Amino acid sequence: MSERNLPYVLSGFGLLLGAVVVGGFGYVLFARGLTPDAIVTYASSLPFAVLLVAGGLWLPRSDVSPEHYRRIGLWTAAGTAFLTSLFAVIALVTQDDWVVRIAMIGWAASTGGGAGLLIGVFEVRAVERAVAAERARVRNEELRRQNERLDELASIISHDLRNPLTVAQSYVDLLREDIDAAERTERLETVARTLERMERIVEETLTLARSGRVIDDPEPVAIAAHARQCWENVSTADATLTVESSTVVVADPSRLAHLFENLFRNAVEHGGDDVTVRVGALADGDGFYVADDGPGVGPEERDVVFEPGYSSSETGSGFGLAIVTQIVDAHGWEIRLTDADGEGARFEISGVETLPSLEADASAARTRASFTN
């Protein structure tokens, strides 16, 4: 028998015991009259039979893994067998009336089965909690080691790559001062642009390495105020920002700022200097979105735009959306790229813990203070 069918067996067993209890009570009522012993025996048996029926119906709808159904079934069978055997012996030894014997055995079967079901469910719950806790411990340990590796990578990038890059940029600046503007060659300017791009890649690689760290202490952040502050930190030319949300989310403020800034840069880079960017809450209240009215992203590219190093622009580093993905993953959120209304790209961030909008003012004040400082 498949373990997935076990809940129906439990319900059927409960129905059978319930029928025996009701039938036995009816027989005693009409044949011998109502007695206190009969009321106590049958009234205390029926709830356990109902418990078996309800338990069997509840299991498929619960979060108990089907692989644990067998253990619950074994506890139910063990409880039924133990009490039934015990009270069968007691009934045969102490009672001469076969009606009383059957009543005692029926009570024992119902009580033992119901009690076994409860024990099985509680034990399985305890086992699943222990397994979940161990998995969380292992995951946290893996994340700790990952953070250590990321710190090492950030250190290498910061010292071993940035220092010689700074030296090279300094020499280019000296050459620019020594050479008249009319004599500057295209090769020198190409070197300068290349070094600037390398500096940007180093900066974004550092951000990428740090953005994947575990979020230890998130706090309420007002989306509207945070997005507007981040917009001021990005070179947006004639682009326009429209914020359509008063949502307050629980997040790491600095990394949420990196998320907004990278999505804003991406919109301006691909949508042009006059692009319009909108920030708002998802319809189901599960998160927020950043959308633009640029050319959008084709369906064939939506799976690869988040990969590190991928860029459809010659000047892009290809790390912007990868950083966004790292930040989303670190928060335990999800991101989806779709079409904006009419045209353009829409990035939807879901699975976000939100707070009542009445906290928006206090969160906005903290946001302004953090950017000011």
- Has residue 169 been placed in a domain? no
What is the model's pTM? 0.51
**CB of 309 within 8 A of CB of 319?**
yes
- Has residue 266 been placed in a domain? yes
CATH number at residue 316: 3.30.565.10
Closest CA to 287 of 223, 215, 225: 223
Q: Residue 310 to residues 167, 315, 319, 322: CA-CA distances in angstroms?
A: 28, 12, 7, 9
Query: Which amino acid is located at 64 in the chain?
Result: V
| Host domain of residue 13 | 3-138
pLDDT at position 252 is 87
Give the C-alpha separation, 272 to 306, whole Å.
Answer: 20
Q: Are residues 123 and 225 in the same domain?
A: no
Q: How many domains does the chain have?
A: 2
**CB of 253 within 8 A of CB of 364?**
no
- Kind plus residue range of the DSSP H or E element containing 206: helix 186-211
Among the candidates 85, 115, 138, a domain finishes at 138
Residue with tokens 């005692």: 104
pLDDT at position 360 is 47
- Has residue 355 been placed in a domain? yes
Give the C-alpha separation, 329 to 338, whole Å.
Answer: 18
- Has residue 51 been placed in a domain? yes
pLDDT at position 330 is 82
Query: Which amino acid is located at 116 in the chain?
Result: G
**CB of 66 within 8 A of CB of 133?**
no
- Has residue 152 been placed in a domain? no
pLDDT at position 24 is 75
Among the candidates 78, 113, 138, a domain finishes at 138
Among the candidates 86, 107, 138, a domain finishes at 138
Q: Are residues 117 and 27 in the same domain?
A: yes
240-244 and 276-281: which strand pairing?
parallel
Q: Residue 208 to residues 150, 157, 258, 304, 321: CA-CA distances in angstroms?
A: 9, 11, 10, 17, 10
Q: Are residues 255 and 367 in the same domain?
A: yes
Q: Are residues 224 and 364 in the same domain?
A: yes
Q: What are phi and psi of 21, to 5 degrees?
A: -65, -50
Q: Are residues 359 and 223 in the same domain?
A: yes
- Has residue 107 been placed in a domain? yes
- Has residue 39 been placed in a domain? yes
Per-residue pLDDT of the chain (373 residues), as tens digits, is: 567 788 888 888 888 888 887 777 777 777 666 667 767 777 788 888 888 889 889 888 888 888 888 899 999 999 999 999 998 898 888 877 787 778 888 888 888 999 999 999 999 999 988 988 888 888 778 777 776 766 666 666 666 666 777 777 787 777 777 766 555 566 677 777 777 767 766 776 666 666 656 676 788 999 999 999 999 888 887 899 999 888 899 998 888 988 998 899 888 888 888 889 999 999 888 899 999 988 877 777 777 777 765 565 555 556 778 888 888 888 889 998 888 776 788 999 999 988 875 454 554 455 555 554 4
